[in-house]
Amino acid sequence: MLRPCVWAALLYVVVVANGAQSACSSWSKRYKQDIPGVCVCNATQCDDVSTEYLELSDRQAGLFQTPKAGDRLAYSTLDVETSSDSEADLIIDTSATYQQILGFGGAFTDATAINVYKMKEAVQQRIVDAYFSDKGLQYTIGRVPIASTDFSESVYSYNPVEDDFEMAHFSIAIDKSNETHKLEFLKRALGVSTREISLFASSWAPPPWMTRENQTENSHMKGVPGEKYWKALALYYSKFIDAYKAENVTFWAMTTQNEPIQQLLAIREWQSLRFTTQEERDFVKKDLGPLMKKNHPDLQIIIFDDQKDELLDWNASFIDAEAKEYVAGVGVHWYKNLDFLDEASGHFENLAAFHERHPDVFILPTEACEGYLVEGIGTGAGPKLLEANVTWQRGEIYARDIINDLANYAAGWTDWNMVLDTTGGPNWAKNLVDAPILVDEESGGEFYKQPMFYVMGHVAKFVPPGSHRIALNLSASAVNSTTQLLKRVDRVAFLTPEHQVVVVLSNRNAEEVVLKLRDVQKGQHLSLRLPGNAIQTLLWASPSHETSENISSPSPSAANLHSPGCFKSAAALFVGIATSLLL
């Protein structure tokens, strides 16, 4: 049951310590002003994430908090109680476990590496540390493009020699060059991380000579799967894995193709190979699957790699036993969420429905970014660094999608570009978007951590690979409550391999929410003040024994009280689709 926001309800919650954490400054030398809601880092100053949560006592909970106005990932501890006079709002049950987590991270695009290497050496290292070191977010997933994307400075492939079906001229020299710095940046990330980083590869387009159009934009393969051009494509992918292995970089997985579906009304074009679910099925079972099983038997194959709304219809590889043998997971993107028209939208129910049909296939969100729309729609286009309300809104949208994807069986979440410049590039196609970190491309002296960066940290830092989602259910009294506030509190919970319970909450209300949480295994209660427009991560130790409790709750896959909303009119739906498909 939700209670009034009064201090009397919180008498037994004591904030006992603030974690040691380097200070966050919002002052920008470039802009000669404070940038509200943004941490500005330079060679001598940058904020870190406290690690004191690793030393909690049995009677303590750690709390990390990022409000719209205030400190980022600020750490404190709470005392918890073993009894309570009132019923809890949220019930946590570690005996009810769901999907295992693969990890969280971002993409090693050319643009990311190019921007990092525009910076002074000491600033470069701070960016690497911010994402991958123990004092940063500790990313554990990395998406690596095979050859160029729109976030490259030019269009290129690894083998432009026409009809080289044996890949005798295959080369990743550009990845090793100062033109992209791609491999160098990737190795620096691997070098500072104390967690294993699972890398997966994705191709935007094959060499033009493999396509009917002899180009990389909206292209289609020559011939049909099983024939020489499709076999050459599979070999092209295998050579990429070989070339990186020779550089001591190992891949965990690869996707068959980035966004193979030609979207209605899309007006921007960049590298893209289009095929149907049936063509993908045949490519997997005739070419890619057998070759990877022979050359890289441990490599996982991820299919689809496209928008969530079309996931359930992309099923040819799952109704063909021979193709399904090679498929480990599906990749999904968020660009048709349409939450700017209906905040209940997001196609989260498609993830739950897919898991119900294919519980042995993991679901991994493989790309998302903000600033991909047009001005006047949603949060608009490109970076909005100096617009505090927009940068916060974008962070809150990240939190909503991450939490609800995870609550509906996603095994992690992958951001798009980790680092862009303040224009949203470089991007040869002028498809300028936003990223959690922007750099001062003019002086190379400072970079900007936006709210999206800290939202990623609220999950990536504290939910390592091998964690499992656990039940986080509404109590009977909360289900029957007439309040609307909980409808806009996104939430999900996990149990880590170190037996820590992790609860992530995002309050999209402007009003503060007071909650009481109960851990049924530990027999403890925790009262919590969740400020308006704030994100919190709570952590505490879990006992090794398992118990369960009968509770009244919605489906365990539900992250909030929303059911998918209906659009008010066909016109609104058309506008939403048209604008969101500008990618």
Active-site positions read: 259, 367
Instruction: Measure Cα distances from 514 to 102, 277, 531 in Å.
Output: 32, 47, 8
**Tokens in use for 488?**
């806009």
For residue 494, give every residue at least 6 positions away whose Cβ sits within 8 Å of its Cβ, in sequence order, or none: 101, 463, 467, 468, 469, 470, 501, 502, 503
Q: What is the dihedral of CA 396, 398, 403, 404, to 10 degrees?
A: 100
CA proximity to 386, closest of 106, 33, 2, 62: 33
For residue 360, give every residue at least 6 positions away whose Cβ sits within 8 Å of its Cβ, in sequence order, or none: none
CA proximity to 198, closest of 142, 146, 242, 129: 142
CA proximity to 203, closest of 68, 107, 76, 326: 107
Asked whether the beta carbons of 133 and 195 are under 8 A apart, the reply is: no
Rg (CA), the chain: 24
What's the maximum distance between 2 C-alpha atoms anywhere in the chain? Answer: 76
For residue 95, give every residue at least 6 positions away whose Cβ sits within 8 Å of its Cβ, in sequence order, or none: 471, 521, 546, 547, 548
Question: From CA 326, how far away is CA 203, in angstroms rounded?
Answer: 18
Q: What is the dihedral of CA 426, 431, 434, 439, to 10 degrees?
A: 10
CA proximity to 365, closest of 403, 330, 314: 330
Q: Residue 230, Cα to own-chain centre: how many angstroms?
A: 31
Question: From CA 275, how far away is CA 279, in angstroms rounded?
Answer: 6
Is residue 5 exposed (0-12), middle (13-18) or buried (19+ Cβ within 10 Å)?
Answer: middle
Question: From CA 23, how far away is CA 44, in angstroms rounded?
Answer: 11
Q: Could you write out the DSSP letters of every residue in 564-577? A: PPPPS-HHHHHHHH
Q: Please list, residue by residue across 211-246, b when 16 or more beta carbons sit within 10 angstroms of its beta carbon and e when fewer do.
A: beeeebbbbebbeebeeebbbbbbbbbbbbbebbee
Asked whether the beta carbons of 393 and 377 are under 8 A apart, the reply is: no
Q: Where are the beta strands (DSSP E) in 228-361?
A: 253-255, 300-307, 327-333
Neighbours of 7 (CB within 10 A): 9
Element (H, E) at 456: helix 451-460
